[in-house]
Amino acid sequence: MINKKICMLGSFCVGKTALVRHYVNSIFSDNYLSTVGVKISKKSIEVDGEEINLMLWDMEGQDNYSMVNLSYLRGAHGLLFVVDGTRGETLSVALKLRMEALKILGPTVPSFFIVNKADLEAEWEISEKVLNSLEAKGVTAIKTSAKTGLNVESTFSRLAASMMTSSVPK
């Protein structure tokens, strides 16, 4: 059995918990988020015929990148940075969070940017140009919607796959 730890980071109200809720069921209540600062959920998926347990560490929203409880990041195999497409500043926060996280976990940890709220794309501040530029830097950004479920399932699958191919043991 392969277990993988995935941390989800991002500003407040970008939809981290909604994404996780859309994807899995947890035995813990959302209260853990505000008290302990993290809530753990589990999802079993299959990658190349092998079953993988994804342990999703849904972390409390972080608007100030220095306020992340960095110890929760320890040992993460994959990272998801959640951005609210309608609020450009959440991308900046996510970029800073990424810096902090990569300092701890090393630069090769698979990480995706999730640009959430695709159902409101008309109101987006993050343009296609910005996303392309992000892609050009080697950062995978995926448009999702926790509301409609767009790309949610596939994002986790993609992350799982890239974690499995990631050769660096950590």
Partner 1 sequence: MGFFSRFLAKSPKKTSGASPEETATPEASPTAPLGDPPDEGLSPDHSPDLDQAPPIEPPLVVSKEAKEADLLAALDSLDLNQELGREAEDIDLGPSLDFGQSLEEEIRPVVELEEDKLRKEILRSAGVLDEPTQIDLDSQEIENKLLGDLENFFQEQSDLTEGGAFDFPGFSSSGSGLTDDFSDWENELLDRVDDERLEDDSPNQWPEAPEADSELGQVRQLLLAREMSQLSFLTRILTRPSLRAEFISRVITEALLLRTRRDEKLSTVLAPTVEKIVTAAVRRDPETYASQIFPAIGPAIRRSISETFVSKLQDFNSTLEKSFSLRGLKWRLEALRVHKPFSEIVLLHTLLYHVEEIYLIHASTGLVLDHLISEEGGEGRDADMVAGMFTAIQEFIRDSFNMAKHESLDTLRFGDRAIFIRRTAQVYLACVVRGNPPESLNRDLQEALELMVVDCAEELENFNGDSTPFRKRRVYFQDFLKARYQDKSQKISKIFWLIPILIVLFFFFSLMFGRYQDRREAEFMARMASQRNERQIIREKNTREDRSRFSAAIERINQEPGLVVVMTQETADGRWEIICLRDSLARDPEAIFKEESQIPANRYKLSVRPFISLDEDIVRRRVREVIDPLPTVRLSFEPETGELTIMGTAPLGWIMAAKERAKSIPGVLGVSSENLTDPRASEMERLVAAINGVVIHFPTNKAEPIPEDQATLVEAVDNLVALEKLAYEMQMSVNLVIFGHADSTGQDRRNYELSQDRTKTVAALLYARGSSLSISNYGLGSQFSIRGEDDKPMEDADSRKIELRVRLAQGTFGAAAETR
Query: At its nearest, how many Å lie between partner 1 and the CB of residue 162?
Result: 13
The residues in 6-35 that bind partner 1, with binding defined as CB under 8 A, are 26-28, 32
Query: At its nearest, how many Å lie between partner 1 and the CB of residue 139?
Result: 7
> 4 pairs with which residues across the strands?
54
Residue 68 Cα to chain centre, angstroms = 14
138 Cβ partners below 8 Å, 6+ apart? none
Using CB atoms within 10 A of its CB, is residue 67 exposed (0-12), middle (13-18) or buried (19+)? exposed
Answer for which of 12, 30, 51, 64 binds partner 1 (CB under 8 A) is 64
The residues in 75-134 that bind partner 1, with binding defined as CB under 8 A, are 75-77, 88-89, 91-93, 95-96, 99-100, 102-103, 106-107, 125-127, 129-130, 133-134
> 10 pairs with which residues across the strands?
82
Q: What share of the chain is helix, strand, coil (3-state, %, to 5)?
A: 40, 30, 35
Residue placing its CB nearer to partner 1 in the complex, 33 or 148: 33
The closest alpha carbon to 101, from 128, 66, 130, 132, belongs to: 66
Query: At its nearest, how many Å lie between partner 1 and the CB of residue 170?
Result: 7
| Residues at the interface with partner 1 (CB under 8 A) | 1-5, 26-28, 32, 36-42, 52-53, 55, 57, 64, 66-67, 69-72, 74-77, 88-89, 91-93, 95-96, 99-100, 102-103, 106-107, 125-127, 129-130, 133-134, 137, 139, 163, 169-170
